[in-house]
Amino acid sequence: MVNKEQLYDAFGELIYAVAKADGLIQAEEQRMLENILTAHPWASQIRWSFDYESKKGMNPEDSYKKALDIFKEHGPDPDYVYLLDVLEKVAEASDGIDANEQKVIDSFQSDLYKRFVKDAEENNWM
């Protein structure tokens, strides 16, 4: 079972993967992330995770896969809507959403949806 700390660590990892998808995390993206997170109760955990991935120079694809595994294990959560909003705003912050950033966002939505539909079918929830 995934706890809330792990879930919000995964938020930071996915935000990092989107911001880094075009090869560089821009200052505008950093500022946007800081602004968006101010109201979130887990802001410090999300930011810590984002900063950790960044400082370690993690491969964005690895960060994406790690985050997705956590989301799949955790299951549906209303905060995923918030996360998608953060991803889009961070990606837009520097000259609009780059094709590589959009690809990560689209993959996240698609991969998560497929997993939840599969779980629903396996558990006869549909």
16: domain range? 4-122
Q: What is the CATH number of the domain that holds 58?
A: 1.10.3680
What confidence tens digit (pLDDT) does each residue in 66-114 have?
999 999 899 888 899 999 999 999 999 998 999 999 999 999 999 988 8
Q: What pLDDT is recorded for position 116?
A: 77
**What is the 3-class SS of 110-123, one letter each residue?**
HHHHHHHHHHHHHC
Q: What's the domain count of the chain?
A: 1
Mean of the pLDDT values across residues 29-37? 96
